[in-house]
């Protein structure tokens, strides 16, 4: 996959987390061997079962979270139950209110929640981070038969301004909706926006019976690559991804939240060429007061069982403990920070 181009504006943050932790990347070469099952045996196991809010069924959050939960349950002997959800915003609320112990979210949603802005303007939420994991990539999916070649082609025809295309922007209370709305607003694309899960969006894009088109014209999804339900469309309906490079650059330069300009390579979905898009990092977050045992063993399993996670989804190959500590402004859980120190990160 093409390496993301960092275009986020400078933001004064004082000392970096790497300088706070004090070791740097040089010592990381002697880290750990992924695939080791337990690591330190003297770390106590969790005292009670936990829950992990993941994401939409079929999405990478859901697949990755279920795989990580199973491995953590295996190595600790205590169940960590994966629970499907509507994604980032939903997960942040559940974790911050202690309805769930762990969850995934995008860095931009985490920033908004921690600072009390955007969808969290009623007040900041409090939670900690265990790791930065992999990056989400924005998919703007249209049927192969669609005339749309770029994002602005989704606008109504000049001779029919009231005939708007229907675009799914992801479920309510999801990171996908936040990013989809931002993209459509910045690009000034006038469409009818509907909220659908990933599976609903995929199904709605496919024509039913004798219909020539589905009930939606396109859908926007933010997730890891490949996202299986999207990939499977290539064998039935056939689809293209719209290039959003221009709007991605605008967002990456003007919005803080970890946004980067990247590309989805053709090999991921059988595309004709790579497609410029917007990428955003994902965080693994923890509820206030999560026990040290759950935090330490989750981080330990994330990296020591990385090879097993890769078997469940290739995005696990993006895990790197040297970048995992980059979760500012969200603080690392003390036990997670201790794990990174113990492993010289």
What CATH code is carried by the domain that includes residue 35?
Answer: 3.40.190.10
Predicted local confidence at residue 254, as pLDDT: 81
Predicted local confidence at residue 345, as pLDDT: 83
Q: Say whether both 73 and 143 belong to one domain.
A: no
Q: Say whether both 270 and 148 belong to one domain.
A: yes
| Residue 342 neighbours by CB distance under 10 Å | 14
The reported pTM is 0.80
Domain boundary among 229, 252, 281: 281
Predicted local confidence at residue 258, as pLDDT: 82
Q: Say whether both 240 and 256 belong to one domain.
A: yes
Q: Say whether both 38 and 144 belong to one domain.
A: no
In a domain, 10, yes or no: no
The DSSP code sequence of 223-279 is E-SS-HHHHHHTTTT-EEE-B-HHHHHHHHHH--SS-EEEEE-GGGTT-SS-EEEEE
Q: Say whether both 146 and 275 belong to one domain.
A: yes
User: Residues 103-156: pLDDT tens digits?
Assistant: 999 999 999 999 999 889 999 999 999 999 999 999 999 999 999 999 999 999
- Among 10-19, 207-216, 233-242, the range scoring the smallest mean pLDDT is 10-19
User: Residues 297-339: pLDDT tens digits?
Assistant: 999 999 999 999 999 998 889 899 999 999 988 999 999 999 9
CA 82, 84, 87, 91 torsion-angle sign: negative
Q: Say whether both 37 and 85 belong to one domain.
A: yes
d(CA 240, CA 300) in angstroms, rounded, equals 39
In a domain, 141, yes or no: yes
d(CA 287, CA 101) in angstroms, rounded, equals 5
What percentage of residues in the chain have a pLDDT greater than 90?
76
Q: Per-residue pLDDT for 11 more than 90? A: no
User: Residues 255-288: pLDDT tens digits?
Assistant: 767 899 999 999 999 999 999 999 999 999 999 9
Domain boundary among 253, 281, 309: 281
Q: Say whether both 198 and 179 belong to one domain.
A: yes
> Could you identify the residue written with the tokens 């069982």?
305
| pLDDT band per the 50, 70, 90 thresholds, residue 233 | very high
d(CA 142, CA 273) in angstroms, rounded, equals 15
| pLDDT band per the 50, 70, 90 thresholds, residue 164 | very high
Any bridge partners for residue 286, and if so which?
102, 128
In a domain, 4, yes or no: no
Domain residues for 308? 16-134+282-342
In a domain, 192, yes or no: yes
Contacts of 240 (CB under 8 A, 6+ apart): 141, 142, 143, 144, 146, 271
Q: Say whether both 273 and 147 belong to one domain.
A: yes
When divided into structural domains, the chain yields a total of 2
- Rounded mean pLDDT, 167-188: 93
User: Residues 44-88: pLDDT tens digits?
Assistant: 999 999 999 999 998 899 999 999 999 999 999 999 999 999 999
């Amino acid at each position: 996959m093409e390496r993301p181009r960092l275009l986020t504006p400078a933001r004064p943050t004082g000392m970096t987390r790497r300088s706070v932790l004090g070791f740097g990347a040089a010592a990381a070469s002697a880290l750990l061997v992924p695939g080791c099952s337990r690591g330190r045996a003297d770390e106590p196991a969790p005292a009670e079962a936990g829950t992990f809010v993941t994401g939409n069924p079929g999405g990478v959050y859901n697949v990755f979270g279920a795989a990580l939960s199973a491995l953590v349950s295996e190595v600790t002997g205590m169940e960590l139950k994966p629970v499907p959800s509507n994604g980032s915003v939903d997960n942040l609320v559940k974790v911050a209110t202690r309805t769930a112990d762990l969850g995934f979210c995008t860095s931009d949603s985490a920033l908004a929640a921690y600072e009390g802005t955007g969808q969290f303007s009623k007040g900041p939420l409090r939670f900690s981070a265990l790791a930065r994991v992999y990056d989400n990539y924005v998919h703007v999916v249209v049927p192969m038969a669609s005339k749309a070649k770029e994002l602005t082609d989704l606008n109504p025809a000049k001779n029919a301004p009231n005939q708007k295309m229907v675009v799914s922007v992801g479920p309510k209370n999801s990171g996908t909706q936040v990013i989809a709305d931002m993209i459509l607003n910045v690009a000034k694309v006038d469409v009818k926006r509907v909220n659908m899960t990933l599976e609903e969006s995929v199904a709605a894009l496919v024509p039913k019976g004798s219909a020539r088109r589905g009930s939606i014209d396109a859908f926007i999804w933010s997730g890891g690559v490949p996202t299986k339900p999207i990939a499977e469309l290539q064998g039935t309906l056939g689809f293209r991804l719209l290039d959003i490079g221009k709007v991605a650059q605008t967002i990456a330069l003007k919005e803080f939240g970890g946004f980067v300009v990247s590309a989805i390579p053709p090999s991921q979905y059988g595309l004709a060429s790579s497609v410029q898009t917007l990428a955003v990092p994902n965080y693994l977050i923890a509820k206030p007061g999560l026990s040290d045992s759950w935090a330490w063993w989750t981080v330990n399993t994330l990296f020591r069982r990385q090879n097993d996670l890769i078997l469940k989804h290739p995005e696990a190959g993006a895990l790197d403990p040297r970048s995992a500590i980059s979760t500012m402004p969200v603080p690392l859980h003390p036990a997670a920070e201790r794990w990174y120190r113990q492993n010289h990160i």
